[in-house]
Structure 1
Amino acid sequence: MPSHDFKSPRLYVESDLADAEAIAATAVQANYLLNVLRLGESDTVLAFNGRDGEWRCELRKPAKKKLDLVPLARTRDQIPAPDLLYLFAPLKHARLDYMVQKAVEMGAGTLQPVMTQHVQASRINIDRMRANAVEAAEQCGILSIPDCREPIGFGTLLAGWDPARHLIFCDEREEAESPIETLRSMPPGRLALLVGPEGGFSQDERASLRALPFVTVMSLGPRILRADTAAVAALAVLQAAVGDWREG
Protein backbone atom coordinates (compact mmCIF):
# COMPACT_ATOMS: atom_id res chain seq x y z
CA MET A 1 0.00 0.00 0.00
CA PRO A 2 1.35 3.49 -0.79
CA SER A 3 2.72 5.34 2.23
CA HIS A 4 0.39 8.31 1.78
CA ASP A 5 -1.22 10.28 4.59
CA PHE A 6 -4.86 9.08 4.47
CA LYS A 7 -5.91 10.83 7.69
CA SER A 8 -5.27 14.52 7.02
CA PRO A 9 -7.92 16.54 5.18
CA ARG A 10 -7.01 17.21 1.54
CA LEU A 11 -7.98 20.25 -0.52
CA TYR A 12 -7.73 21.03 -4.19
CA VAL A 13 -6.57 24.60 -4.82
CA GLU A 14 -6.24 26.62 -8.01
CA SER A 15 -3.23 28.65 -6.84
CA ASP A 16 0.41 27.71 -7.26
CA LEU A 17 1.94 25.86 -4.32
CA ALA A 18 5.36 26.98 -3.14
CA ASP A 19 7.20 27.01 0.15
CA ALA A 20 5.80 29.61 2.58
CA GLU A 21 3.65 31.31 -0.10
CA ALA A 22 0.28 31.80 1.61
CA ILE A 23 -2.89 30.84 -0.27
CA ALA A 24 -6.26 32.32 0.63
CA ALA A 25 -8.86 29.61 1.32
CA THR A 26 -12.21 30.05 -0.36
CA ALA A 27 -15.28 30.72 1.78
CA VAL A 28 -16.43 27.12 1.23
CA GLN A 29 -13.03 25.72 2.20
CA ALA A 30 -12.80 27.96 5.28
CA ASN A 31 -16.26 26.89 6.45
CA TYR A 32 -15.39 23.23 5.94
CA LEU A 33 -12.07 23.44 7.78
CA LEU A 34 -13.12 25.72 10.64
CA ASN A 35 -16.77 24.87 11.22
CA VAL A 36 -17.19 21.30 9.97
CA LEU A 37 -13.81 19.80 10.87
CA ARG A 38 -13.30 22.20 13.80
CA LEU A 39 -9.68 22.85 12.89
CA GLY A 40 -7.87 25.90 14.19
CA GLU A 41 -4.82 28.02 13.60
CA SER A 42 -1.58 26.00 13.30
CA ASP A 43 -3.43 22.81 12.36
CA THR A 44 -2.32 21.31 9.05
CA VAL A 45 -4.00 19.98 5.93
CA LEU A 46 -2.79 18.64 2.60
CA ALA A 47 -3.23 20.67 -0.59
CA PHE A 48 -2.70 19.90 -4.28
CA ASN A 49 -3.34 21.69 -7.58
CA GLY A 50 -2.48 19.14 -10.23
CA ARG A 51 0.82 20.86 -11.03
CA ASP A 52 3.02 21.21 -7.96
CA GLY A 53 2.53 17.93 -6.14
CA GLU A 54 1.00 17.65 -2.68
CA TRP A 55 1.95 19.99 0.15
CA ARG A 56 1.39 20.02 3.89
CA CYS A 57 -0.05 23.41 4.74
CA GLU A 58 -0.55 25.21 8.04
CA LEU A 59 -3.77 27.08 8.75
CA ARG A 60 -3.36 30.74 9.64
CA LYS A 61 -5.95 33.45 10.26
CA PRO A 62 -4.57 36.86 9.30
CA ALA A 63 -8.01 38.39 9.92
CA LYS A 64 -11.30 37.39 11.53
CA LYS A 65 -12.99 36.41 8.27
CA LYS A 66 -9.91 35.22 6.41
CA LEU A 67 -8.13 31.87 6.39
CA ASP A 68 -4.81 31.20 4.71
CA LEU A 69 -3.06 27.95 3.84
CA VAL A 70 0.70 28.27 4.20
CA PRO A 71 2.71 25.48 2.46
CA LEU A 72 5.35 24.04 4.78
CA ALA A 73 6.75 21.05 2.88
CA ARG A 74 6.04 19.00 -0.21
CA THR A 75 4.78 15.56 0.77
CA ARG A 76 4.53 14.09 -2.74
CA ASP A 77 5.96 15.08 -6.10
CA GLN A 78 3.61 15.64 -9.00
CA ILE A 79 3.13 12.69 -11.34
CA PRO A 80 1.64 12.80 -14.85
CA ALA A 81 -2.14 12.69 -15.01
CA PRO A 82 -3.62 9.39 -16.23
CA ASP A 83 -3.95 9.17 -20.01
CA LEU A 84 -7.09 7.03 -19.90
CA LEU A 85 -10.03 8.62 -21.76
CA TYR A 86 -13.39 7.62 -20.29
CA LEU A 87 -16.40 8.13 -22.59
CA PHE A 88 -19.93 7.75 -21.30
CA ALA A 89 -23.53 8.48 -22.15
CA PRO A 90 -24.79 10.93 -19.48
CA LEU A 91 -27.06 9.63 -16.74
CA LYS A 92 -29.43 11.52 -14.50
CA HIS A 93 -28.36 13.43 -11.37
CA ALA A 94 -27.22 11.21 -8.50
CA ARG A 95 -26.24 8.27 -10.67
CA LEU A 96 -24.12 10.52 -12.87
CA ASP A 97 -22.48 11.95 -9.74
CA TYR A 98 -21.66 8.43 -8.59
CA MET A 99 -20.28 7.38 -11.97
CA VAL A 100 -18.05 10.44 -12.24
CA GLN A 101 -16.65 9.91 -8.74
CA LYS A 102 -15.94 6.23 -9.38
CA ALA A 103 -14.35 6.92 -12.78
CA VAL A 104 -11.95 9.37 -11.13
CA GLU A 105 -11.14 6.87 -8.38
CA MET A 106 -10.51 4.20 -11.03
CA GLY A 107 -7.93 6.28 -12.89
CA ALA A 108 -9.75 8.14 -15.66
CA GLY A 109 -7.74 11.14 -16.85
CA THR A 110 -10.43 12.63 -19.11
CA LEU A 111 -14.21 12.51 -18.71
CA GLN A 112 -16.03 12.89 -22.03
CA PRO A 113 -19.86 12.77 -22.14
CA VAL A 114 -21.15 11.33 -25.42
CA MET A 115 -24.68 11.97 -26.70
CA THR A 116 -25.92 8.64 -28.05
CA GLN A 117 -29.29 7.84 -29.60
CA HIS A 118 -30.74 6.33 -26.41
CA VAL A 119 -29.11 8.71 -23.95
CA GLN A 120 -31.15 9.38 -20.79
CA ALA A 121 -30.05 12.93 -20.02
CA SER A 122 -30.04 15.49 -22.81
CA ARG A 123 -28.14 18.07 -20.75
CA ILE A 124 -25.21 17.83 -18.37
CA ASN A 125 -23.88 20.28 -15.80
CA ILE A 126 -20.13 20.42 -16.39
CA ASP A 127 -19.52 22.46 -13.22
CA ARG A 128 -21.27 19.79 -11.16
CA MET A 129 -19.33 17.06 -12.94
CA ARG A 130 -16.05 18.79 -12.15
CA ALA A 131 -17.07 19.36 -8.52
CA ASN A 132 -17.65 15.63 -8.17
CA ALA A 133 -14.28 14.94 -9.79
CA VAL A 134 -12.58 17.31 -7.35
CA GLU A 135 -14.29 15.69 -4.37
CA ALA A 136 -13.23 12.22 -5.48
CA ALA A 137 -9.63 13.34 -6.00
CA GLU A 138 -9.52 15.03 -2.58
CA GLN A 139 -10.82 11.96 -0.80
CA CYS A 140 -8.72 9.36 -2.61
CA GLY A 141 -5.25 10.88 -2.62
CA ILE A 142 -5.28 11.65 -6.35
CA LEU A 143 -2.95 14.44 -7.46
CA SER A 144 -4.67 15.55 -10.68
CA ILE A 145 -8.21 16.60 -11.58
CA PRO A 146 -9.48 14.92 -14.76
CA ASP A 147 -10.27 17.05 -17.78
CA CYS A 148 -14.09 17.38 -17.70
CA ARG A 149 -15.22 18.03 -21.26
CA GLU A 150 -18.39 19.34 -22.81
CA PRO A 151 -20.71 16.71 -24.35
CA ILE A 152 -20.06 15.62 -27.91
CA GLY A 153 -22.29 13.83 -30.40
CA PHE A 154 -21.60 10.17 -31.11
CA GLY A 155 -21.00 10.76 -34.83
CA THR A 156 -18.79 13.76 -34.21
CA LEU A 157 -16.74 11.76 -31.71
CA LEU A 158 -15.99 8.98 -34.19
CA ALA A 159 -15.40 11.37 -37.10
CA GLY A 160 -12.66 13.19 -35.18
CA TRP A 161 -11.11 10.16 -33.51
CA ASP A 162 -7.35 9.76 -33.36
CA PRO A 163 -6.82 6.17 -34.61
CA ALA A 164 -3.61 5.96 -32.58
CA ARG A 165 -5.79 5.70 -29.46
CA HIS A 166 -7.51 2.34 -29.12
CA LEU A 167 -11.22 2.47 -28.23
CA ILE A 168 -12.72 -0.26 -26.05
CA PHE A 169 -16.46 -0.53 -26.54
CA CYS A 170 -18.61 -2.29 -23.90
CA ASP A 171 -21.37 -4.07 -25.81
CA GLU A 172 -24.16 -5.67 -23.79
CA ARG A 173 -24.99 -7.84 -26.81
CA GLU A 174 -21.50 -9.31 -27.11
CA GLU A 175 -21.13 -12.99 -26.25
CA ALA A 176 -19.96 -13.41 -22.64
CA GLU A 177 -16.27 -14.11 -23.10
CA SER A 178 -13.39 -13.24 -20.77
CA PRO A 179 -12.81 -9.48 -20.93
CA ILE A 180 -9.31 -10.02 -19.54
CA GLU A 181 -8.35 -12.16 -22.54
CA THR A 182 -10.02 -9.71 -24.92
CA LEU A 183 -8.04 -6.78 -23.55
CA ARG A 184 -4.72 -8.59 -23.41
CA SER A 185 -5.02 -9.47 -27.09
CA MET A 186 -4.95 -5.78 -28.06
CA PRO A 187 -1.79 -4.04 -29.27
CA PRO A 188 -0.15 -1.75 -26.71
CA GLY A 189 -0.91 1.96 -26.82
CA ARG A 190 -3.13 4.76 -25.54
CA LEU A 191 -6.62 3.71 -24.47
CA ALA A 192 -10.19 4.93 -24.29
CA LEU A 193 -13.22 3.22 -22.79
CA LEU A 194 -16.79 3.77 -23.99
CA VAL A 195 -19.84 2.84 -21.87
CA GLY A 196 -23.29 3.43 -23.29
CA PRO A 197 -26.65 4.50 -21.84
CA GLU A 198 -29.21 2.46 -19.93
CA GLY A 199 -31.04 1.63 -23.16
CA GLY A 200 -27.87 0.44 -24.84
CA PHE A 201 -26.39 1.51 -28.14
CA SER A 202 -28.58 1.64 -31.22
CA GLN A 203 -28.04 -0.86 -34.04
CA ASP A 204 -26.49 1.88 -36.19
CA GLU A 205 -24.13 2.97 -33.41
CA ARG A 206 -23.10 -0.61 -32.74
CA ALA A 207 -22.46 -1.22 -36.45
CA SER A 208 -20.43 2.00 -36.75
CA LEU A 209 -18.19 1.01 -33.85
CA ARG A 210 -17.67 -2.55 -35.02
CA ALA A 211 -16.59 -1.34 -38.46
CA LEU A 212 -13.65 0.69 -37.12
CA PRO A 213 -10.16 -0.87 -37.02
CA PHE A 214 -9.17 0.84 -33.75
CA VAL A 215 -12.17 -0.51 -31.80
CA THR A 216 -12.18 -3.58 -29.55
CA VAL A 217 -15.55 -4.97 -28.45
CA MET A 218 -15.66 -6.17 -24.85
CA SER A 219 -18.28 -8.13 -22.91
CA LEU A 220 -18.87 -7.53 -19.20
CA GLY A 221 -20.32 -10.98 -18.63
CA PRO A 222 -23.67 -12.75 -18.83
CA ARG A 223 -25.60 -10.18 -16.77
CA ILE A 224 -26.99 -6.86 -17.98
CA LEU A 225 -25.49 -4.14 -15.79
CA ARG A 226 -26.80 -0.69 -15.10
CA ALA A 227 -24.67 1.98 -16.74
CA ASP A 228 -23.04 3.22 -13.53
CA THR A 229 -22.27 -0.37 -12.46
CA ALA A 230 -20.90 -1.13 -15.92
CA ALA A 231 -18.57 1.85 -15.65
CA VAL A 232 -16.95 0.55 -12.45
CA ALA A 233 -16.76 -3.02 -13.75
CA ALA A 234 -15.26 -2.01 -17.08
CA LEU A 235 -12.69 0.33 -15.57
CA ALA A 236 -11.64 -2.31 -13.03
CA VAL A 237 -11.19 -4.96 -15.72
CA LEU A 238 -9.29 -2.57 -17.98
CA GLN A 239 -6.93 -1.41 -15.24
CA ALA A 240 -6.27 -4.99 -14.13
CA ALA A 241 -5.63 -6.31 -17.64
CA VAL A 242 -3.83 -3.50 -19.49
CA GLY A 243 -3.87 -0.47 -17.20
CA ASP A 244 -1.82 0.97 -14.39
CA TRP A 245 -2.57 -1.78 -11.87
CA ARG A 246 0.04 -3.97 -13.55
CA GLU A 247 3.69 -3.60 -12.63
CA GLY A 248 5.76 -1.98 -15.33
Structure 2
Amino acid sequence: MKISRLHRIYSNTKLIENYSLNLAKEHSHYLKTVLKLKIGDHFRIFNGIDGEFIAQITDITKNNLRVDLINILRKAIVEPELTLGISIIKSDRMLDAIDMAVQLGVTKIIPLIAERSQFRTVNTQRLMKCIIESTEQSERLIPCILMPVVSLSLFLEQTLDNSIIYANENEDENNTLLKIMPIYSSDISANLSVVVGPEGGFSQNELQMLSLRPNTLSISLGSNILRTETAVATCLAQIKLFTASCFATKPILLN
Protein backbone atom coordinates (compact mmCIF):
# COMPACT_ATOMS: atom_id res chain seq x y z
CA MET A 1 0.00 0.00 0.00
CA LYS A 2 1.57 3.28 -1.15
CA ILE A 3 0.46 5.81 1.43
CA SER A 4 0.99 8.88 -0.74
CA ARG A 5 -1.57 7.55 -3.24
CA LEU A 6 -4.33 7.14 -0.67
CA HIS A 7 -7.14 9.67 -0.87
CA ARG A 8 -7.18 12.06 2.07
CA ILE A 9 -10.06 13.89 3.72
CA TYR A 10 -10.27 16.52 6.42
CA SER A 11 -12.48 15.87 9.45
CA ASN A 12 -13.13 18.06 12.48
CA THR A 13 -14.01 14.91 14.46
CA LYS A 14 -11.68 13.78 17.25
CA LEU A 15 -9.21 11.26 15.80
CA ILE A 16 -7.54 8.60 17.96
CA GLU A 17 -5.33 5.70 16.87
CA ASN A 18 -7.07 2.28 17.01
CA TYR A 19 -10.42 4.03 17.36
CA SER A 20 -13.57 3.45 15.28
CA LEU A 21 -15.90 6.19 14.14
CA ASN A 22 -18.85 6.90 11.89
CA LEU A 23 -18.07 9.48 9.25
CA ALA A 24 -20.16 12.57 8.63
CA LYS A 25 -22.78 12.28 5.91
CA GLU A 26 -20.87 14.36 3.35
CA HIS A 27 -17.72 12.28 3.83
CA SER A 28 -19.67 9.03 3.55
CA HIS A 29 -21.26 10.18 0.30
CA TYR A 30 -17.92 11.30 -1.13
CA LEU A 31 -16.10 8.06 -0.29
CA LYS A 32 -18.93 5.75 -1.39
CA THR A 33 -20.38 7.54 -4.38
CA VAL A 34 -17.57 9.66 -5.79
CA LEU A 35 -14.49 7.57 -4.98
CA LYS A 36 -16.44 4.29 -4.96
CA LEU A 37 -14.44 2.87 -2.06
CA LYS A 38 -15.55 -0.44 -0.57
CA ILE A 39 -15.23 -2.33 2.71
CA GLY A 40 -11.56 -3.02 3.36
CA ASP A 41 -10.32 -0.03 1.35
CA HIS A 42 -7.98 2.49 2.95
CA PHE A 43 -7.77 6.27 2.87
CA ARG A 44 -6.18 9.03 4.94
CA ILE A 45 -8.07 11.21 7.39
CA PHE A 46 -6.65 14.22 9.22
CA ASN A 47 -7.23 17.38 11.18
CA GLY A 48 -5.01 20.12 12.53
CA ILE A 49 -5.18 18.95 16.15
CA ASP A 50 -4.81 15.18 16.16
CA GLY A 51 -2.74 14.71 13.00
CA GLU A 52 -3.15 12.31 10.06
CA PHE A 53 -4.20 8.65 10.19
CA ILE A 54 -4.70 5.68 7.91
CA ALA A 55 -8.36 4.68 8.01
CA GLN A 56 -9.93 1.43 6.82
CA ILE A 57 -13.59 1.10 5.90
CA THR A 58 -15.24 -1.60 8.02
CA ASP A 59 -18.94 -1.14 7.28
CA ILE A 60 -21.07 0.57 4.66
CA THR A 61 -24.81 1.14 4.88
CA LYS A 62 -27.19 3.39 2.99
CA ASN A 63 -26.71 6.32 5.34
CA ASN A 64 -23.50 5.49 7.14
CA LEU A 65 -19.85 4.57 6.69
CA ARG A 66 -17.79 3.23 9.59
CA VAL A 67 -14.00 3.21 9.69
CA ASP A 68 -11.15 2.06 11.92
CA LEU A 69 -8.18 4.37 12.46
CA ILE A 70 -5.35 1.90 11.99
CA ASN A 71 -2.30 4.01 12.78
CA ILE A 72 -1.09 7.59 12.90
CA LEU A 73 1.05 8.85 10.03
CA ARG A 74 2.12 12.20 11.43
CA LYS A 75 1.28 14.55 14.24
CA ALA A 76 0.05 18.09 13.79
CA ILE A 77 2.65 20.85 13.99
CA VAL A 78 2.33 24.58 14.51
CA GLU A 79 3.00 26.42 11.26
CA PRO A 80 4.71 29.83 11.07
CA GLU A 81 2.14 32.59 10.79
CA LEU A 82 1.63 33.92 7.28
CA THR A 83 -1.39 36.16 6.78
CA LEU A 84 -2.89 37.18 3.45
CA GLY A 85 -4.93 40.35 3.22
CA ILE A 86 -6.63 40.19 -0.17
CA SER A 87 -8.97 42.75 -1.67
CA ILE A 88 -12.24 41.09 -2.61
CA ILE A 89 -12.49 40.23 -6.29
CA LYS A 90 -14.98 38.35 -8.48
CA SER A 91 -16.11 35.07 -6.90
CA ASP A 92 -14.42 32.54 -9.20
CA ARG A 93 -11.16 34.47 -9.23
CA MET A 94 -11.31 34.86 -5.45
CA LEU A 95 -11.51 31.07 -5.19
CA ASP A 96 -8.45 30.74 -7.44
CA ALA A 97 -6.54 33.16 -5.21
CA ILE A 98 -7.56 31.32 -2.04
CA ASP A 99 -6.62 27.96 -3.55
CA MET A 100 -3.13 29.16 -4.44
CA ALA A 101 -2.68 30.90 -1.09
CA VAL A 102 -3.44 27.70 0.82
CA GLN A 103 -1.05 25.69 -1.35
CA LEU A 104 1.68 28.24 -0.64
CA GLY A 105 1.39 28.05 3.14
CA VAL A 106 -0.88 30.91 4.20
CA THR A 107 -2.25 30.35 7.71
CA LYS A 108 -4.82 33.16 7.82
CA ILE A 109 -6.86 34.88 5.11
CA ILE A 110 -8.53 38.25 5.62
CA PRO A 111 -10.77 39.55 2.79
CA LEU A 112 -10.34 43.31 2.44
CA ILE A 113 -12.46 46.19 1.23
CA ALA A 114 -10.31 48.84 -0.42
CA GLU A 115 -11.46 52.15 -1.88
CA ARG A 116 -11.34 50.75 -5.42
CA SER A 117 -12.85 47.36 -4.59
CA GLN A 118 -15.64 46.46 -7.00
CA PHE A 119 -16.90 43.67 -4.73
CA ARG A 120 -17.57 43.99 -1.00
CA THR A 121 -18.94 40.64 0.16
CA VAL A 122 -17.76 37.03 0.03
CA ASN A 123 -19.48 33.66 0.17
CA THR A 124 -17.88 32.37 3.35
CA GLN A 125 -19.17 28.83 2.87
CA ARG A 126 -17.68 28.56 -0.63
CA LEU A 127 -14.37 30.00 0.51
CA MET A 128 -14.15 27.56 3.43
CA LYS A 129 -14.95 24.65 1.10
CA CYS A 130 -12.12 25.81 -1.16
CA ILE A 131 -9.76 26.08 1.81
CA ILE A 132 -10.54 22.52 2.95
CA GLU A 133 -10.14 21.06 -0.54
CA SER A 134 -6.85 22.90 -1.06
CA THR A 135 -5.60 21.69 2.32
CA GLU A 136 -6.42 18.11 1.34
CA GLN A 137 -4.72 18.46 -2.04
CA SER A 138 -1.56 20.18 -0.78
CA GLU A 139 -0.83 17.68 2.02
CA ARG A 140 -1.23 20.29 4.73
CA LEU A 141 -2.81 19.37 8.06
CA ILE A 142 -4.20 22.66 9.32
CA PRO A 143 -6.77 24.55 7.23
CA CYS A 144 -6.02 28.25 7.28
CA ILE A 145 -8.29 30.56 9.23
CA LEU A 146 -10.79 32.64 7.26
CA MET A 147 -11.45 35.95 8.99
CA PRO A 148 -14.42 38.32 8.49
CA VAL A 149 -14.30 41.00 5.81
CA VAL A 150 -12.66 44.22 7.04
CA SER A 151 -11.53 47.55 5.66
CA LEU A 152 -7.85 48.06 4.92
CA SER A 153 -7.53 50.50 7.82
CA LEU A 154 -8.99 47.98 10.28
CA PHE A 155 -6.73 45.27 8.87
CA LEU A 156 -3.69 47.41 9.62
CA GLU A 157 -4.91 47.90 13.19
CA GLN A 158 -5.50 44.16 13.65
CA THR A 159 -2.02 43.20 12.44
CA LEU A 160 0.14 45.62 14.42
CA ASP A 161 2.43 42.80 15.55
CA ASN A 162 3.11 41.68 11.97
CA SER A 163 5.56 42.87 9.37
CA ILE A 164 3.65 43.76 6.22
CA ILE A 165 4.64 43.41 2.58
CA TYR A 166 2.28 44.97 0.06
CA ALA A 167 2.28 44.81 -3.71
CA ASN A 168 2.48 48.32 -5.13
CA GLU A 169 2.22 48.78 -8.89
CA ASN A 170 3.67 52.30 -8.53
CA GLU A 171 6.80 51.05 -6.80
CA ASP A 172 10.24 51.25 -8.42
CA GLU A 173 10.79 48.01 -10.34
CA ASN A 174 14.13 47.56 -8.58
CA ASN A 175 12.41 47.39 -5.20
CA THR A 176 11.61 43.68 -5.21
CA LEU A 177 10.95 40.97 -2.67
CA LEU A 178 14.69 40.50 -2.24
CA LYS A 179 14.37 43.32 0.27
CA ILE A 180 12.38 41.15 2.68
CA MET A 181 15.55 39.21 3.47
CA PRO A 182 16.72 41.62 6.22
CA ILE A 183 13.46 40.99 8.06
CA TYR A 184 14.32 37.30 8.35
CA SER A 185 18.04 37.69 8.95
CA SER A 186 17.26 39.27 12.32
CA ASP A 187 14.14 37.30 13.23
CA ILE A 188 13.37 34.24 11.13
CA SER A 189 10.17 33.59 13.07
CA ALA A 190 8.71 37.06 12.41
CA ASN A 191 4.98 37.03 11.72
CA LEU A 192 4.34 38.24 8.22
CA SER A 193 1.33 39.67 6.41
CA VAL A 194 1.07 40.02 2.64
CA VAL A 195 -1.40 42.57 1.28
CA VAL A 196 -2.66 42.58 -2.31
CA GLY A 197 -4.99 45.31 -3.49
CA PRO A 198 -7.83 45.42 -6.02
CA GLU A 199 -7.62 45.95 -9.75
CA GLY A 200 -6.52 49.52 -10.23
CA GLY A 201 -4.31 49.30 -7.17
CA PHE A 202 -4.51 51.11 -3.87
CA SER A 203 -5.70 54.71 -3.75
CA GLN A 204 -3.31 57.51 -2.82
CA ASN A 205 -4.90 57.69 0.64
CA GLU A 206 -4.33 53.96 1.14
CA LEU A 207 -0.75 54.13 -0.10
CA GLN A 208 -0.06 56.91 2.36
CA MET A 209 -1.68 54.90 5.15
CA LEU A 210 0.51 51.91 4.32
CA SER A 211 3.69 53.98 4.00
CA LEU A 212 3.19 55.50 7.46
CA ARG A 213 2.73 52.15 9.19
CA PRO A 214 5.88 50.80 10.91
CA ASN A 215 7.42 47.52 9.68
CA THR A 216 5.76 47.84 6.28
CA LEU A 217 7.48 47.29 2.94
CA SER A 218 6.25 48.35 -0.49
CA ILE A 219 7.44 46.00 -3.23
CA SER A 220 7.22 45.74 -6.99
CA LEU A 221 6.13 42.54 -8.73
CA GLY A 222 7.62 43.63 -12.04
CA SER A 223 6.72 45.81 -14.99
CA ASN A 224 3.58 43.89 -15.97
CA ILE A 225 0.22 44.72 -14.38
CA LEU A 226 -1.00 41.54 -12.70
CA ARG A 227 -4.47 40.41 -11.77
CA THR A 228 -5.07 40.19 -8.04
CA GLU A 229 -4.97 36.39 -7.97
CA THR A 230 -1.77 36.35 -10.04
CA ALA A 231 -0.19 38.91 -7.72
CA VAL A 232 -1.12 36.72 -4.74
CA ALA A 233 0.56 33.66 -6.25
CA THR A 234 3.63 35.61 -7.39
CA CYS A 235 4.21 37.29 -4.06
CA LEU A 236 3.62 34.20 -1.92
CA ALA A 237 5.72 31.95 -4.15
CA GLN A 238 8.70 34.27 -3.82
CA ILE A 239 8.28 34.47 -0.05
CA LYS A 240 8.05 30.67 0.05
CA LEU A 241 11.28 30.44 -1.92
CA PHE A 242 13.21 32.92 0.21
CA THR A 243 12.02 31.47 3.51
CA ALA A 244 12.05 27.78 2.56
CA SER A 245 13.88 26.70 5.70
CA CYS A 246 11.32 28.42 7.89
CA PHE A 247 8.07 27.91 6.00
CA ALA A 248 8.69 24.45 4.55
CA THR A 249 5.75 22.16 5.37
CA LYS A 250 6.51 19.17 3.16
CA PRO A 251 4.98 16.19 4.96
CA ILE A 252 7.07 13.35 6.31
CA LEU A 253 5.03 10.16 6.40
CA LEU A 254 6.03 7.68 9.07
CA ASN A 255 5.95 4.68 6.74
TM over 0.5: yes
- Over the aligned positions, Cα root-mean-square deviation in angstroms equals 1.8
Question: CA offsets per residue over residues 64-85 of structure 1, 9 Å max, x none?
Answer: 4210232110011211134111
1:20 deviates by 2.6
Residue 253 (structure 2) aligns with: none
1:113 aligns with 2:118: no
1:31 aligns with 2:32: no
Count of residues paired in the alignment: 243
d(CA) in 2 for partners of 1:127, 1:114 = 17
Q: 1:182 aligns with which of 171, 179, 184?
A: 179
Residue 102 (structure 2) aligns with: 104
Amino acid at match of 1:211: L
1:29 deviates by 1.6
Q: Residues 55 and 74 of structure 1 are in contact (CA less than 8 Å); yes or no, is this contact kept in structure 2?
A: yes
The residue matched to 2:5 in structure 1 has which SS?
A: coil
d(CA) in 2 for partners of 1:144, 1:46 = 14
The residue matched to 1:88 in structure 2 has which SS?
A: strand
Residue 16 (structure 1) aligns with: 14
1:57 deviates by 0.5
Q: Residues 126 and 149 of structure 1 are in contact (CA less than 8 Å); yes or no, is this contact kept in structure 2?
A: no
The residue matched to 1:182 in structure 2 has which SS?
A: helix
Which 5+ residue runs of structure 2 have no aligned equivalent? 250-255
d(CA) in 1 for partners of 2:199, 2:75 = 40
Q: Residues 166 and 192 of structure 1 are in contact (CA less than 8 Å); yes or no, is this contact kept in structure 2?
A: yes
d(CA) in 1 for partners of 2:239, 2:208 = 23
d(CA) in 1 for partners of 2:60, 2:248 = 47
1:16 deviates by 0.8
Amino acid at match of 1:240: L
Residue 192 (structure 1) aligns with: 193
Q: 1:50 aligns with which of 48, 51, 75?
A: 48
Question: CA offsets per residue over residues 176-219 of structure 1, 9 Å max, x none?
Answer: 12524211133532111001111211110011101112101111
Q: Residues 179 and 237 of structure 1 are in contact (CA less than 8 Å); yes or no, is this contact kept in structure 2?
A: no
Q: Residues 177 and 219 of structure 2 are in contact (CA less than 8 Å); yes or no, is this contact kept in structure 1?
A: no
Mapping 1:130-145, distance limit 5 Å: 130-145=128-143
d(CA) in 2 for partners of 1:148, 1:165 = 17
The residue matched to 1:123 in structure 2 has which SS?
A: coil
CA separation of 1:62/1:228 partners in 2, compared to 1, >3 Å: closer, same or farther? closer
Residue 233 (structure 2) aligns with: 232
The residue matched to 1:6 in structure 2 has which SS?
A: helix
Q: Residues 176 and 221 of structure 2 are in contact (CA less than 8 Å); yes or no, is this contact kept in structure 1?
A: yes
The residue matched to 1:213 in structure 2 has which SS?
A: coil
d(CA) in 2 for partners of 1:20, 1:183 = 46
Amino acid at match of 1:225: L
Which 5+ residue runs of structure 1 have no aligned equivalent? none
Q: Residues 86 and 196 of structure 2 are in contact (CA less than 8 Å); yes or no, is this contact kept in structure 1?
A: yes
Q: Residues 80 and 191 of structure 2 are in contact (CA less than 8 Å); yes or no, is this contact kept in structure 1?
A: no
1:225 deviates by 0.5
Amino acid at match of 1:214: N
Amino acid at match of 1:222: S
d(CA) in 2 for partners of 1:181, 1:233 = 13
Amino acid at match of 1:173: N
